[in-house]
Amino acid sequence: MMDAAELRRRTQEFLAAHPPADIPPAPPADAAGDPLPPSADAARLDFLRARFDAGLAWVHYPEGLGGLGAPRALQAVVDAELAAAGAPDNDPRRIGIGLGMAAPTILQYGTDEQKRRFLRPLWTGEEVWCQLFSEPGAGSDLAALGTRAVRHGDEWVVNGQKVWTSSAHVARWAILIARTDPDVPKHRGITYFVCDMTDPGVEVRPLRQITGEAEFNEVFLTDVRIPDAHRLGETGDGWRVAQTTLNNERVAIGGMRLPREGGMIGPVVKTWRERPGLRTHDLHQRLLALWVDAEVARLTGERLRQQLAVGQPGPEGAGMKLGFARLNQAISGLEVELLGEEGLLYDDWTMRRPQLVNFTGREAGYRYLRAKGNSIEGGTSEVLLNIVAERVLGLPPEPRTDKDVAWKDLAR
């Protein structure tokens, strides 16, 4: 079994062979999302590809797939060594859907060929991923989805509409679930695919949000042909495969690693300390309570990652994501109150098409508006409450009258 000392030695040998000092610097943090100069981008990609091939991308993944088969907890050893050396990372915020959702699903259900094809460019960020799950009539009740995939020889022909698709405008690949058998109950008869977003018949349209941006999209699929070789899991077993994706998604959203006063609480605390004239007793008490809640959430996230180190994510991730949404909305609301009229200012209402969400690098007004989406994306808070009640607390499930009804016979 590989230990921390051995992994540290390997990382140091890798850094000696691939000195980060040879890589041109990236743009400053406020330019996040802008393309790197060609020379810097090429050098950075060479470094990331070499890191993947050395097994230092995901140390708990198998050898040859970015890992070394080491305990997941030892990833922190690698990350610390690389950060101390000033090594470039793979810009995980930009490729979060690929890292947090597509990769673990491909690892668990993909064929050897699929793993070799998709995991390396996914991790290096050369290929961005998006998620084609939700539909206009199947959001919270995702299993009611109606996008159809019909098999023709070695291909599937897909028709339907997806919605709330983050990063679809920059994605090369998508994880997609579609109905392949309408004659069985809705949780059966779903199949999971990898969809090429550059294929004919894939149309991406922006959805303008309350922030003025169009980070989300709706995607129309018209006679899109997907080879059977891009199916993940067995035909009709897509709901089970999708649960792996959804569990990992909630952990990725709600259980991200943060330092103390990281995330949304940081800008509020900074303003409080630097501008004492804004303080009132009521705001002081509320800020203290939210600071404690943020610290509890941070430490709970650490415990959740320790659990992940010894197994697969479970329904506990739903609780983390639920708390994340509530906390962000409460903190951003307090920040607007603290700043008064200034908190309502928001300097960019243009129709931007960002590649990533930058909560802490924007104004308080942006944070307040964007945080409203936290209780919808990654599973609505209402659905997550049901998951926590049934699968964590063991409470009786809600009555479901449609479990044994064929999808084609459901009222819509």
| Residue 31: closest CA among 271, 369, 356, 363 | 356
Interior CA angle at 379 toward 291 and 142, to 5°? 175
Cα gap 82→74, rounded to integer Å: 13
Which residue among the candidates 249, 316, 335, 363 is catalytic per the annotation?
249
SS (H, E, C) 108-165: HHCCHHHHHHHHHHHHHCCCCEEEECCECCECCCHHHCCCEEEEECCEEEEEEEECCC
N- to C-terminal Cα distance for the chain?
Answer: 54
Active site residue 249: yes
- Ramachandran angles phi, psi of 374, nearest 5°: -60, -25
Based on the number of CB atoms within 10 Å of its own CB, is 355 exposed (0-12), middle (13-18) or buried (19 or more)? buried
| Residue 263: closest CA among 237, 293, 221 | 293
Based on the number of CB atoms within 10 Å of its own CB, is 331 exposed (0-12), middle (13-18) or buried (19 or more)? buried
One-letter identity of residue 60: H
Q: Do β-strands 129-132 and 202-207 pair in parallel, antiparallel, or remain unpaired? A: unpaired
Residues acting as catalytic residues: 249
